[in-house]
Amino acid sequence: MESDSSTNNSDGASSPEESRGSKGSSVSTGLREEYEDLLRYAVVTPNFDGKIKGVLKQQSHNEETTPAASGPGVHSVQVSHLDIPDYQEEGDNESIDNNECHYFPAVSPPHPQPSANNEPKVSFKMDTNKPKSNDHELMRLGEQMDRWCSDLKRNVLAEFEQAQIRSREQQKAATLQEINDLVSQNRLLQSQINRINGLLTTFQLSIDKKDEIIQRLTKSLQKQKDRIGLARSFSMWRGQHNDEKREIFTSTLAVKHYNYKLKRKALQTWFGIIQNKWRERVQKACQVRAEEVCQKLKASHNKEIKTFEKLLEEREEELSRLYKERDSFEENLKKAFMRGVCALNKEAMTMFNKEQLGDCGYHGNQTVFPPPVKEGGKSREPKVMIEKHLH
């Protein structure tokens, strides 16, 4: 907050107010050198209030009404305006030396530079023919300068007092503004504190509710844990009990199975013995019965064989008789065919040459034929040759 007030005071001090000074007055030719020394410095008048401005105007008017020689040796000096920065005293108790340096700028001799629009314009006329001023004029000028300096000092002190009053008022206003800001900030902070207290109470209630919920959950979890432990112990006991029952059942079942296997093995041996005995008995009975049946079949088959042999002999005798008849018939037929063939051969021989007759196997009055073929102990003549000769 102190930085804000210092910034406000510095802003107020940094805004100068420009004011135009009064015009210069014409002096006599005797004061030429003194005026030449005085014109080297810029006389600055601050911006005073209405009363001080009236005093300055009256003083300048009195200076203008003073008699001055208007001859060719008169220096007429006219200052158009003097720009003076306005000053303001800051709120903190600074030294008066800084303020005096602020109100009275450093005086330096003028240098020949080009004049600007915002610089003071000085126009004067001088006449070198006049003699120098006397002591009376110097005394009057000294008195006037003393009066002018006293007025300037009085005006500066009055302006300094007014600036101090303004700085105090500004500081008071700044402090009031700071107090108001602090009050508003306190109210804002109080409202925030109240809101935070409300939030704190709500959070406390929610935390209490959450604690109750957590306690209930822990109780329920503990109960569930106990229930799970009991269930685990019960399941373990039940598993052990089932294992014991299973062992007892398996042992009894193994004993039963062993006894069953022994009984089955004994029964199988007994059944095998009985089966072998019955097999022997059945084999003997079947063998006796088969021998009887074979004897009967042998007798019947022997009878049939004898009958079939008799029939076979009869059929063979008949076949031999038929073969004999056929052979005799074939011989008679062959002789008849041979006679016909011989007649035909004789006729053909007369027509063909001897070589062809030699190929046919003709030797004089005889024709040579191949011997008859025997099949199954019976003679058969070739019928093919006979058929060829017939054709």
Residue 17's pLDDT band (cuts 50, 70, 90): very low
> Is residue 369's pLDDT more than 50?
no
| Reported confidence tier of residue 37, pLDDT bands at 50, 70, 90 | low
Whether 390 contacts 337, CB under 8 Å = yes
Q: Tell me how far apart the alpha carbons of residues 348 and 354 are, in angstroms, rounded to a whole number.
A: 11
d(CA 368, CA 390): 17
Mean per-residue pLDDT, 88-107? 40
Lowest model confidence (mean pLDDT) among 76-85, 172-181, 377-386: 76-85
62 band by pLDDT with thresholds 50, 70 and 90: low
Q: What is the average pLDDT across 354-378?
A: 47
- DSSP annotation of 65: H
Quick one: pLDDT band at residue 60, thresholds 50, 70, 90? Answer: low
| DSSP bridge pairs for 122 | 79
Query: Under a CB-based contact definition with an 8 Å cutoff, are residues 103 and 154 in contact?
Result: no
Window from 22-26, 123-127, 210-214 with minimum mean pLDDT: 22-26
Task: Quote the radius of gyration of the chain (alpha carbons, Å).
Answer: 88
First CA to last CA across the chain, in angstroms? 168
CA atoms within 13 A on the CB side of 47: 14
Non-local (6+) Cβ contacts of 160 within 8 A are: 89, 99, 103
Residues 6+ positions from 50 with CB-CB distance below 8 Å:
none
Distance in angstroms (rounded) separating the CA atoms of residues 33 and 13: 39
**Cα-based distances in Å from 225 to 214, 219, 221, 231, 233:** 16, 10, 6, 10, 12
From residue 71, how far is each of 13, 115, 136, 147, 261 by CA, in Å?
Answer: 48, 29, 20, 28, 173
Q: What is the pLDDT of residue 359?
A: 54
Angle (CA) 169-173-175 rounded to 5° is 115
Q: Are 64 and 7 in contact (CB under 8 A)?
A: no
Look at residue 98 and tell me whether its pLDDT is greater than 90: no
Say yes or no to pLDDT of 121 above 60.
no
**pTM greater than 0.75 (yes/no):** no
Report the share of the chain in percent with pLDDT over 90.
28
